[in-house]
Structure 1
Amino acid sequence: MRIGLIGLGDIAQKAYLPILTEHPFVTPVFCTRSRHVLTDLARKYRINDGCSDYKQLINMDVDAVMIHSATSTHVEIATYFLEQR
């Protein structure tokens, strides 16, 4: 299952990435506005797919998304993906 991980801040790095990147049935797709963070974490976890705009995930064949961005952005991002289906 390809899961888009939106927002790669401290909580995602400490709690979710170490587990999800090791799960045998999950292929993470990273998404963060910071190109530096995207590059560093993709290298660290050997992730090939990533983007800096969550709307790009629609064209990246993801099965689901997990929203780890600032709480104030959750409604906007969740609404966007719900409207795509």
Structure 2
Amino acid sequence: MKGLQQIKSEIDQLANNSNKTELEVVDALHKYYFNKAVTAEIKHYKKKTKKVAQITKDLKISHRRFYKILEDKKVEFTKYNKSKDDIEE
């Protein structure tokens, strides 16, 4: 329990120093570490050492969200179009 109390006290100190609420501090930390994890997974994706299914499972996000992140970071990926016109031909 000491670890949790220490983390809570550090979050309180950050909140007091930056004039933010505790929730805003925790949210900022979550975004930082999530982006750090996504960047590491994108490196694996570019090297083709990991597939999208493995990456989304590790990050606990949907494949659509992962492709949206790739679009935002301007990383090239192949799009598969499953329309009815292609199936009929």
- TM-score of the pair, normalised by structure 2: 0.26
Report which of the two has the higher share of strand: 1
Of structures 1 and 2, the larger Rg is shown by 2
Report which of the two has the higher share of helix: 2
Q: Which has the higher contact order (CA 8 A, sep 6+)?
A: 1
